[in-house]
Amino acid sequence: MSLPFKRPADASAAVPDVVPGRDRGTMGRRRWRLAVAPLLTLGIGIILGTNPFRPQTENPEATARGYLRYKEILNYIDRDYVDSVDADGLTNYAVAQLLGKLDPHSVYIRAQDREQTDAFLQSSFDGVGLEFNLFRDTATVVTTLPAGPASTAGLLPGDQLLRVGPTPVAGTHLSQGQLGQLLRGPRGSSVSLVVARRGQPQPLHFQFNRGRLPNASVEPGVLLEDKQTGYIKINRFAASTYEEFKAQLADLQRQGLKRLVLDLRGNPGGYLDRATRLADEFIAGSRKLVYTVGKDEQYASQTYAHVAGDWEQQPLVVLVDENSASAAEVLAGALQDHDRALLVGRRTFGKGLVQQPIMLHEGGELRLTVARYYTPAGRCIQKPYGSDKETYNHELAERQQRGEFASADSAQFAAGQRFRTDHGRVVYGGGGIMPDVFVARDTLHQAAYYQRLQRTGVLQAYALAFYQQHKVELVGLRFTQYQAVFRVTDTELDGLARLAALAGQRPDPAALRRCAPALRTIIKASIAHITYGPEAASAIWRDDDQELQQALRVVQDSTAQLALLGGH
């Protein structure tokens, strides 16, 4: 059944009031349960420490000759070249080409980009505290962070941004990144916004100071329907991940937790030591968790469990997928090698390289690969790479093309990379970590029609329009009521199709019917996100999460766990 909302006779009446402008399609949206990852996040494996740079090299004369050659050529270009040149731009290009000859994960981060990339691994950041959707060249507020600057100032879901400071932002073809740059700024700095609000004849003006906002890496843990199985999702291994996880686990234990599902899907990695500290919570004794091997002895290390963890004996299942990378793979690999947990999902990304951040004098940062990490059984899970980075970057697409996301039999590992766990199970290295229980990827969420609606902001725009039209009814419901009885009907799907057509997308009734189940879920989750917050949206996604449902079946079946883990 659906809620008794007064729906318009014409489904196109759910189209939002937008400032006219060409649809740029710049706000690609992911499923709400996944964190939106900024620049340079896929496959992060960072070790902390002081700047290790020393002028000594294996071949100092060759290094010195190369440096002098480059300096001399750049000086001649800057002085004598027929046209004016951007010497700094040429240097950035040369650095990119130089690093391009190394591995795929050694990168140079410009000084102006460091703040954004560093923020991804911090527990808080400076900003205004609002989420927006860019659709048809108009940015609309989706949610505001509770008690954040934008919320305190009075901005509401559905407000359309017309101006940020002196800069017009409606109908000006700004990208998502450009608009985000206008909104960002240091805490305490002032920002002024002009917005259009439904029902208000004149634009509204807001001026307030930016603030420090929380940037949690661990989503709130939940106790599921059986009141014994808990679920915790870790989106990345940031500065405060260990403490966040401990707090969520303790809260679930107070509620009667008996079994745990740990979700590492989409986790690109982060700080290596945060992942090993978490592994220590699950693995008893003084067993090895990970070791690293580099050319320099300072990067050779072995990390062992050494504390009495809070979850060393209880049932544990870990969800992984093709976007679980680096530090997330370290944790998954340690748990699998020691037969401590069952892994459910699909083969992980395959990133086994460790980067050392090196601060440069001009403010930029070099993240240089200095070591490979190995799981306790000796697996290096780095997938093969060569000089062609394009091939490496498209490796996941190749997996999909050969059917690996649909069948475990299509997985490919490097030859001779067979290892055994503590209980003698065969596992593989050289290409990610293969889970113990395979779950095929949901094809509907990968369909071109569905992806196009996400990428162009149509889905979020429709959810915002529905929220504004039915705000009174939605706000009057408790979330549990909404979750139980609200259904996205064919009327809503027709309205979505009409909105897509207004945005210039060719009608495709057959694709709409095929994708209907996935579209119903994302619309319901998006409306919940706007009305009740991100935790409510996550609850909607869990109801439709087949990988999680498989993990729950595994963690609740103790006999199956013993058989799969080689126990007696």
Task: Flag whether 96 is in a domain.
Answer: yes
Query: Residues 217, 240, 324, 326: which is the catalytic one?
Result: 326
188, 296: one domain: no
> Within this chain, do residues 229 and 369 fall inside the same structural domain, yes or no?
yes
Q: Is 326 a catalytic residue?
A: yes
Query: Which phi and psi (to 5°) does residue 497 adopt?
Result: -65, -40
CATH number of the domain bearing residue 380: 3.90.226.10
Residues 432 and 470 in one domain: no
Domain holding 176: CATH number?
A: 2.30.42.10
Residue % of the chain over a pLDDT of 70 = 88
Q: Is residue 560 part of a domain?
A: no
Is there a domain that residue 564 lies in? no
| Cα–Cα distance measured from residue 128 to residue 164, given in angstroms and rounded to the nearest whole number | 12
Q: What is the mean pLDDT of residues 157-178?
A: 94
Q: What's the pLDDT band for 389 if we cut at 50, 70, 90?
A: confident
Which of 337, 339, 544, 545 is an active site residue? 337
Would you state the pLDDT for residue 16? 32
Q: Is the same domain home to 341 and 221?
A: yes
The model's pLDDT over 204-225, given as tens digits with 9 standing for 90+, comes to 999 999 999 999 999 999 999 9
| Interatomic CA distance for residues 332 and 433, integer angstroms | 8
Distances (CA, A) of 534 to 216, 267, 483, 539: 12, 18, 14, 9
- Ramachandran region of residue 432, left (φ > 0), alpha (ψ -120 to 50) or beta? left
168 forms beta bridges with 163
Residue where a domain terminates, one of 421, 438, 455:
438
Share of the chain above pLDDT 90, in %: 74
175 and 205 assigned to the same domain:
yes
Residue 83 confidence class, pLDDT cut points 50, 70, 90 = very high
Tell me which of 214, 236, 251 is where a domain ends.
214
Q: Which residue has the higher pLDDT, 114 or 483?
A: 483
Task: Identify whether 1 is part of a domain.
Answer: no
Domain encompassing residue 254: 31-123+216-438
Tell me how far apart the alpha carbons of residues 134 and 227 are, in angstroms, rounded to a whole number.
40
Mean pLDDT, the chain, rounded, equals 88
Does residue 559 form part of some domain? no
Query: Which one is predicted more confidently, 14 or 468?
Result: 468
Q: 53-57, 201-205, 362-366 — which one is most confidently predicted on average?
A: 201-205
383 a catalytic residue: no
Q: Report yes or no on 109 lying in a domain.
A: yes
Same domain, 326 and 465: no
Whether residues 109 and 158 fall in one domain: no
**Which member of 351, 436, 526, 545 is catalytic?**
351
Placement of tokens 């799907």 in the chain: 493
Closest CA to 165 of 137, 193, 198: 193
Q: pLDDT for 538-552, tens place per residue?
A: 999 999 999 999 999
Taking the CA atoms of 409, 283, 551 and 30 in sequence, report the sign of the dihedral they define. Answer: negative
pLDDT at 433: 96
Q: Average pLDDT for residues 546-560, to the nearest whole number?
A: 89
Residue 407 has a CB neighbour count (10 Å cut-off) of 11
Number of domains in the chain: 3
141 and 247, same domain (yes or no): no
The answer to whether residues 190 and 166 belong to one domain is: yes
The band of 563, judged by pLDDT with boundaries at 50, 70 and 90, is low
Residues 6+ apart with CB under 8 A from 428: 379, 413, 417, 418, 419, 434
- Per the domain annotation, does 261 fall within a domain? yes
Say yes or no: 115 and 208 in one domain: no
**Per-residue pLDDT tens for 314-331?**
999 999 999 999 999 999
User: Amino acid identity, residue 199?
Assistant: G
Whether residue 24 is found in the same domain as residue 169:
no
DSSP, collapsed to helix, strand or coil, labels residue 93 as helix
Which of 396, 419, 438 finishes a domain? 438
pLDDT(558) > 90: no
- 321 and 419 in a single domain? The answer is yes
Q: Is residue 2 part of a domain?
A: no
